[in-house]
Amino acid sequence: MNRLNTLLITFAAYASVGISGATAAERLAERFDCLIEPLMVIEVGSPVQGVIESIAVERSSLVAKGDVLAELESDVELASLAQARARAGMNSEVGARQADLELAVQSKVRIDELAERKMVSSQEKDEAVAEVQVARMALQQAVERQELAEYERRWASQVVKRRTIRSPISGVVVELRAFPGEFVYENPIMTLAQINPLRVEVILPLELFGKLQKGTRAEIFPEVADGEKFAAEVSVVDRIIHTGSSTFGARLELLNAEHQIPSGQRCELTFLWEENPSASQLASRLPIPGS
């Protein structure tokens, strides 16, 4: 915001002495001061507390979304995961309860055959039915315990997974904020910046309000590019006018796939009105001050 405020003040001073006398044609071809910034800058932290075991990147390292940035110590969590995996893999209890159920069913079949010949009492027949029900419920409990063990394994796996800090964006490491051996929880571990695409911030005169549209293309002339120009496109047009300077802000998106354009530098831009027919038609009706 400090850079944008500086740009706003600079533009206001320039506008007070120069732009008021510009013709519509001159204003269309005019170069405006701008700033090239990262699309976003984020501080990466840890979702869990712990001690940093290793940092996988350095300052200025390029990272892709999902890359490992840091690892927390996780010996205890790994041991818990191994235990949970072993428990989830045990199916002997389910097998035993299945065998009990099959035996109870066979016993009931024999009892039913004997009952048809009046060779067993009704109590023995009821007991056989109850044994099948008990065996069936015991098997269900064993299956549920195994399912619970599988849920515990998944939970333990997620606990271990959260000990690995991965990049939420593709970008560059701006600053390391913590190092191996340090305890972290709420404090950030490092700062990342997304530098493709870049955002270009510009302050524009009131006369262009309502004429500049999202999608309007422009040529960007970075401060350190030795006169080389790059294509950009308007992505945001502010809906609020700065009353003190009669200006408004706009943002452009500048592709930077090869990372050849450093962010954090000043620039100039010229809008390509002729490439946007609707904007060109509106701009052709720009009022000439004093007319």
Look up the CATH number of the domain holding residue 232: 2.40.30.170
pLDDT at residue 290, as a whole number: 39
Peptide bond into 197 cis (omega under 30): yes
Name the 3-class secondary structure at 276.
Answer: coil
Name the 3-class secondary structure at 178.
Answer: coil
Residue 53 inside a domain? The answer is no
User: Of 210, 198, 176, whose CA–CA distance to 260 is shortest?
Assistant: 198
Residue 213 inside a domain? The answer is yes
CA distances from residue 112 to 104, 119, 131, 136 in whole angstroms, order as listed: 12, 10, 13, 18
Residue 182 inside a domain? The answer is no
Distance CA 56, CA 68 (A): 7
- Domain ranges, residue 221: 2-44+189-283
Residue 67 inside a domain? The answer is no
pLDDT at residue 116, as a whole number: 86
Same domain, 240 and 157: no
Per-residue pLDDT of the chain (291 residues; tens, 9 = 90+): 455 555 544 444 444 434 444 555 555 568 999 999 999 999 999 999 999 999 999 999 999 999 999 999 999 999 999 999 999 999 899 999 999 999 999 998 998 888 888 888 889 888 999 999 999 999 999 999 999 999 999 999 999 999 999 999 999 999 999 999 999 988 999 999 999 999 999 999 998 998 899 999 999 999 997 879 999 999 999 999 998 999 999 999 999 999 999 999 999 999 998 765 454 444 444 443 333
Q: Domain end: 114, 143, 161, which one?
A: 161
Q: Domain end: 145, 161, 177, which one?
A: 161
Same domain, 134 and 81: yes
Residue 145 inside a domain? The answer is yes
pLDDT at residue 125, as a whole number: 86
Same domain, 33 and 82: no
| Residue-wise burial string across 40-50, b where 16 or more C-beta atoms lie within 10 A, e elsewhere | ebbebbbeeeb
Same domain, 202 and 276: yes
Residue 6 inside a domain? The answer is yes
pLDDT at residue 7, as a whole number: 52
One-letter amino acid of 22: A
The structure tokens listed for 179 are: 């190092």
User: CA 197, 201, 205, 206 torsion: positive or negative?
Assistant: positive
Residue 88 inside a domain? The answer is yes
Residue with tokens 């299956």: 143
**Which residue intervals of the chain are DSSP H helices?**
2-17, 24-28, 75-89, 92-116, 122-161, 277-283
Q: How many structural domains are present in the chain?
A: 2
Assess contact for 231 and 275: CB atoms under 8 A: no
Same domain, 140 and 194: no
pLDDT at residue 286, as a whole number: 45
Same domain, 229 and 271: yes
Q: What angle do CA 133, 137, 138 make, to 5 degrees?
A: 115
DSSP of 195-263, one letter per residue? EEEEEEEEEEEGGGTTT--TT-EEEEEETTSTT--EEEEEEEE-SS-BTTTTEEEEEEEE--TT--S-S
pLDDT at residue 263, as a whole number: 94
CB atoms within 10 A of CB 283: 21
Residue 124 inside a domain? The answer is yes
